[in-house]
Structure 1
């Protein structure tokens, strides 16, 4: 368990302490943006590998048992998680990696729902697995991903505000971190046609595929009594 805790702290430290603070800026100036991304990717992959190995080797210490009705709800909760992921992949977003977007850009599609669909997807995925598994190792393992996802939202916002203040003002005025937050506050509106059919089709495909492949990939089914 000690190895898992240390590796989880390293993972969080890389994403919050290095990539998520102004410490990134002098390193990126020295290495260049691409050089920093390469270094960060290598370190992240190494940390992820060790984190997964430590999780697999950690002893089981049960904390709670999720009842069947809750497990069914958790299975259903993964559908919006996959929808957020699909929207992040298929929608152009100034908070994601890629070429800069001009200040004339306006929120559309998934960005109306949340300006951080990928990170919200990971945060929901982590929460679902923490509740569903109910053991100490899972709390540490999935908690590390949940913490970095949630912290990453404010970190990316601060970075965009420094680099593209005009674009950031547009984004902050018409979007939210919490899904549907800006829509419920009246600062935007839901436009499902902008999502098209590709987002729900990809989300359903990923959700159904994972239900089938989960026992093969991870040795257990997310469905109760299966």
Structure 2
């Protein structure tokens, strides 16, 4: 029933969100525990490029899900076949965003723990991208195939080869609350980094 689904979604949110926080805390506390593989921290420009790449990654990672209430399972998750904003750049922005995040972090931290973390995250997102396409194909059939033909997994590929023909003024599609919120939140997280690290250390997970 609808009420049962609602209870399950709330239960899922109550359980999954603390687990996500615990994973982030564990990562912060143990990111330097692995076997050192390389050290590029003193190479000029590496730190700045890592920060810039991390900032860009969040533009792909989070605004791709426009209804955050669905992410938290407060609203019933629905099928969406987006083809605007970041979806014009890549059909799987979360996977691409995760890759953009993993590369600079792996370069900066440079140990076996970060390599294993990045491989695990990318495997998770690659599976999600494949499964997402499969579900959309099953649900929408030819309509999905048409969207698939007009979009690309590789960022900007469909725009560059002409498969994606955005309308005039399409960049205004980025003037949406999720993109603005992520921009503000990412800048705030940059300045709050010492607080995040300090808080994670206090938890000792």
Q: Distance in 2 between matches of 1:106 and 1:85?
A: 15
Shift of 1:46: 5.4
Task: Spell out, residue by residue over 1:158-210, the C-alpha distance to the aligned partner (whole angstroms, 9 max, x if none).
Answer: 22212321331122111112221211121113521222254553343122112
Q: Distance in 2 between matches of 1:62 and 1:106?
A: 41
Q: Which residue does the alignment assign to 1:172? A: 148
Among 101, 105, 111, the residue aligned to 1:129: 105
Q: Which residue does the alignment assign to 1:138? A: 114
Q: Distance in 1 between matches of 2:66 and 2:57?
A: 14
Q: Distance in 1 between matches of 2:20 and 2:195?
A: 24
Q: Distance in 1 between matches of 2:152 and 2:135?
A: 16
Q: Which residue does the alignment assign to 1:192? A: 171
1:205 aligns with 2:179: no
Q: Distance in 2 between matches of 1:127 and 1:88?
A: 20
Gaps of 5+ in 1: 1-31, 220-226
Q: Which residue does the alignment assign to 2:135? A: 159
Shift of 1:86: 4.5
Q: Which residue does the alignment assign to 1:100? A: 79
Q: Which residue does the alignment assign to 2:90? A: 114
Check 1:129–1:70 CA distance in 2 against 1; reply closer, same or farther (3 A cut). Answer: same
Check 1:42–1:123 CA distance in 2 against 1; reply closer, same or farther (3 A cut). Answer: farther
- Report how many aligned residue pairs link the two structures: 181
Q: Distance in 2 between matches of 1:215 and 1:62?
A: 23
Gaps of 5+ in 2: 69-75, 199-205
Relative to the length of structure 1, the TM-score reads: 0.64
Q: Distance in 2 between matches of 1:35 and 1:83?
A: 30
Shift of 1:78: 1.8
Relative to the length of structure 2, the TM-score reads: 0.69
Equivalent residues of 2:88, 2:151 under 8 A apart: yes
Q: Distance in 2 between matches of 1:202 and 1:46?
A: 23
1:65 aligns with 2:73: no
- Greater length-normalized contact order (CA 8 Å, ≥ 6 residues apart): 2
Q: How large is the RMSD of aligned CA atoms in angstroms?
A: 3.6
Task: Spell out, residue by residue over 1:105-139, the C-alpha distance to the aligned partner (whole angstroms, 9 max, x if none).
Answer: 77222221122222322232122211111111111
